[in-house]
Amino acid sequence: MTLRTAAAVAAGKLARAGLQTLGRGATALPGLVTLALDPGAIGAMTASLEHGAVIVSGTNGKTTTSRMLADVVRAAGWAPIHNRSGSNLDRGIAAALLAGSDWAGRPEGNVAIFEVDEASIPRVLARIEPRVVLVTNLFRDQLDRYFEVDQLARRIAASFAGLPEATTLVLNADDPIVARLAEGHRGRTLFFGVDDPTVGGLVPQSISDATHCPRCDTRLRYARVILAHVGEWSCPGCGLARPARDVSAAAVELLRDRSRVRLAGAVDPVEVPVAGLYNAYNALAAVAVAEALGIGAATAARAIASFRPAFGRLEVVEAEGRRLRIVLVKNPAGFNAAIGALLEQGGPHRLLAALNDRDADGRDVSWIWDADFEALAPAVEHAVATGLRARDLALRFKYAGLPRERTEVVDGWAAAIRRAIGLAPQGGEVVVVTTYTAMLALRDTLARLGHVRQFWED
Amino acid sequence: MDLRICHLYPDLMCIYGDRGNVITLARRARWRGIEVEERALNAGDALDPAWADLYFFGGGQDQGQDVVSRDLDGPNGDALRRAFASGASALAVCGGYQLLGHEYLPAGGPPIPGLGAIDVTTRAGKVRFVGNLLAQAAQGTLIGFENHSGHTYLGPKAKPLATVLVGRGNNGEDETEGAVQGRIVGTYCHGSVLPKNPWLADMLLAWALERRHGPVTLAPLDDGEELAAQQAAAEVARTRP
C-alpha cells in the first residue's frame, strides 16, 4: 500500500470516528474524504481480499440481493465486507471498506460485496477488478439522472469489455437489455432466469424500455411477460433470443409472505422468506452468484431461508398496535412489482404514500404516471398522501379512479403517520409506499416516536 | 358524444410518464359523459387518417426515435399529414414535438427528417436541459419537467405556447416554450403535462370534439386537486429550479 493510500485511509477513519462520536451514521462522508485524497484507495484495499470482490448492480433488487449474498458467503464461512446501508455510490463503497479495515487499511474480511448504483458501474470498474459482477435488471429509473436506459446499457457494456478474463459476469437472461451486456466480455458469463411457464405479471405491463430488439430494432416477441420488458423474449428479425440459463427457476410458488423457488436440477427448493416475485428473482440472482463463487446451491439456499429483509424493503414496523409495512419504490417497474405483491395478497389496503423529489428520489416525478396506479386503486380503502410532492400523488390517485373521499393530503411526516395510523383499526395494517428520501424522513420520525431503530445500527 | 384518441408509437415514444396525458384526456372526457375510444399505432401498422380526432405523440429514447422516424418517412407520415389537414388535433411532447417539426439536426451525421406539421426545427445542443419548467401561457400557468438536449427554434407559422419563467424551454435563448400551429400543440413539458395543466387538456378536448361534433362547450369540472398540484409544483420550480 502506498503512503498516499495509507494517509487517505487514516483520514477517512478519522472522519468516521468523528461522525460516530456525534452519533451520526457514517455511510458516505468518510469514503468521500478517502477518495478525495486517493482515488485509487478502493482498488488497493480490495486487491488483498482472499475471495475477491462482488459487484451487485441493476435498477431493482440490488440491496436485497447483496444482503442475501452477504448471508450466503457467511454461511460458506467467509467474512464479508459489505456496504449494507444502501449507500451505493463509490463513496459508499469506500466508507464500507474503511469500516471493515484496520487503521493501516488492512481489510478485516476476506470477500467484499459491493452494491453499486448502475450509473456508477463504469467509474467503479475503473478502480477495482471484481471477481464477479451481477446485473439484476435495467429499467427506467430516475431518468433525469440516468437519462436513457439504452444509453446506460451501452456505457455499462463498454466497461464490461475492459474487464479481465478472470471476472465472471452474472446476468439476467430474461432481461433483453441485461442479457446483451456480455457481448464484449472476454471471460465467463453465467445467466439466470425464470423458466416456470406459469409465471407472468398480474399487472398490465405498460412500461416499454425494451420492446424492440437491442441489436436490430425489430419488435421483440414475448412468449411470457414477467415484468415490464423482462420475460421469455426473442427477436423474430435477427434471431437474438434469451440466452440459455445456467441457473434456472423451473418452478416458482408465490405464497402470502414468502415464495418457494425450485431450481432446475436441484432436489430441495429455495425457501425465500420475503414476499413477491421480485424477491424470488433476487434469491435466484444470489444463488447464481454463489455458483460463480464456487459456493454450492445448498449452502446458498440455507442462508437465504433465514434471510431478514433490508431496510425499507417490505419491512414491518409495529406502531401503536398497527403494523406498518414499508415498501420502497423508486421507479415504475419497482412500483408495479411491489403492488403486484400487494395485490397477490388481496385487500383492501390502507396506504400511506410518500413522494419526494430530491436528487436521490429523482427530481422528475413524471414516473408516477407510468406506474400502474389503475391496478392498485380498486384495492385501496384509503390513501394518505404526503411528502414534498404529495399533491402530485393525490392527483395520480384521482386519475387512477380512487374516489376523492378516500384520498387526502397530509403535510408533515409526523402528522401523516398519525393520520394513517388513526385510520387503521387496532391490529390492522398500513402499507407505506415511499420514495427513498421520504423513507429516510419517515424512518427518522418513526424512530423519534419510539417505533423503530435507526437503520445504520442494523 | 364520443372521442377517438390515437396514441402514436406508445411502445417507443412514451417516456417520462407521458402516458399520463392520454389517461388525463380520457378521464376528463368520461367525467363529462363523453365516450372515449383509444387506439395505439405501432411502427408498421397502417394509420387510418379518417379515424382519430386527437393524436398523442410522446418522447422516446434515441433507438425509439430512429424507428419512428423511419416509419413516418413512409405512408404513415403522409396519412398523418392528411389527418392534420382534415382537422385532427395533436399533443406532441419532447421527441414527438421534434418529430412533428421539419427536421432534427444531430451533432454528427445527416439531418433526421420530421413530418413538417409544425414550423419548427431542432438541432442537438451540447448541454442537456434538465429541470422543472414553469411558463406562462395566455390561458394559464404551464408547469412541467423538461429533459432534452435538442434546441428547437420556431418559424413564422408556429406561435409559442408559453413564455418561460423558470427553466429553458424551446432553446434556452428566446424564452419561448412549446409551439402551437393550427390544432397541434408541441411542448417540452413532461410531468405528465396535462394532469397539472387542465386548461391545456380541455383546450385539446374541445378542438378534438369539434372535428366530428361541431363546436362544443365543455362542462366545467372541479379542478381542486389539479390546481393544488399545479401551484405546489410551480412553487418547487421557483424555489428549487
Catalytic residue among B94, B148, B151, B189: B94
Which CATH architecture best describes the domain A3-305? 3-Layer(aba) Sandwich (3.40)
User: What cell does A198 get?
Assistant: 406459469
Longest CA span, chain A: 65
The answer to whether the CB atoms of A389 and B232 lie below 8 A apart is yes
How many Å lie between the alpha carbon of A437 and the closest alpha carbon of chain B?
A: 16
Domain count, chain B: 1
Active-site residue flag, B151? no
The answer to whether the CB atoms of A370 and B44 lie below 8 A apart is no
How many Å lie between the alpha carbon of B156 and the closest alpha carbon of chain A?
A: 32
What distance in Å separates the CA atoms of residue A171 and residue A183, rounded to the nearest whole number?
Answer: 12
The phi, psi pair for A173, rounded to 5°, reads -70, -25
pLDDT digits (tens, 9 = 90+) for A203-242: 444 545 557 788 888 888 888 888 878 899 999 999 999 9
Chain B 74-113, CB below 8 Å of chain A: which residues? none
Stretch A351-374: mean pLDDT: 93
pLDDT at A125 over 60: yes
Chain A 210-229, CB below 8 Å of chain B: which residues? 211-212, 214, 217, 219
pLDDT digits (tens, 9 = 90+) for A92-122: 788 888 877 777 777 788 999 999 988 889 9
* Mean pLDDT taken over chain A: 85
Nearest Cβ partner for A206 among B19, B190, B233: B19
B115 lies in which domain range? 2-239
Which of A208, A191, A119 is CA-nearest to residue A155?
A119
Question: What local confidence, expressed as pLDDT, does residue B207 receive?
Answer: 98
Query: CATH no. for residue B81?
Result: 3.40.50.880
The domains of chain A are located at: 3-305, 313-457
Which chain B residue's Cα is nearest to A368?
B17
* Superfamily of A313-457 according to CATH: Mur ligase, C-terminal domain (3.90.190.20)
Q: How far is CA A45 from CA A41, A96, A105, A125, in A?
A: 6, 11, 7, 14
Chain B 133-172, CB below 8 Å of chain A: which residues? 145, 147
Higher pLDDT, B94 or A34: B94
Question: What local confidence, expressed as pLDDT, does residue B46 receive?
Answer: 95
The phi, psi pair for A175, rounded to 5°, reads -100, 110
User: What cell does B208 get?
Assistant: 378534438
Write out the E strands in A334-452.
Answer: 349-354, 380-386, 407-409, 429-434
ipTM: 0.96
pLDDT digits (tens, 9 = 90+) for A383-440: 999 999 999 999 999 999 999 999 999 999 999 999 999 999 998 889 999 998 999 8
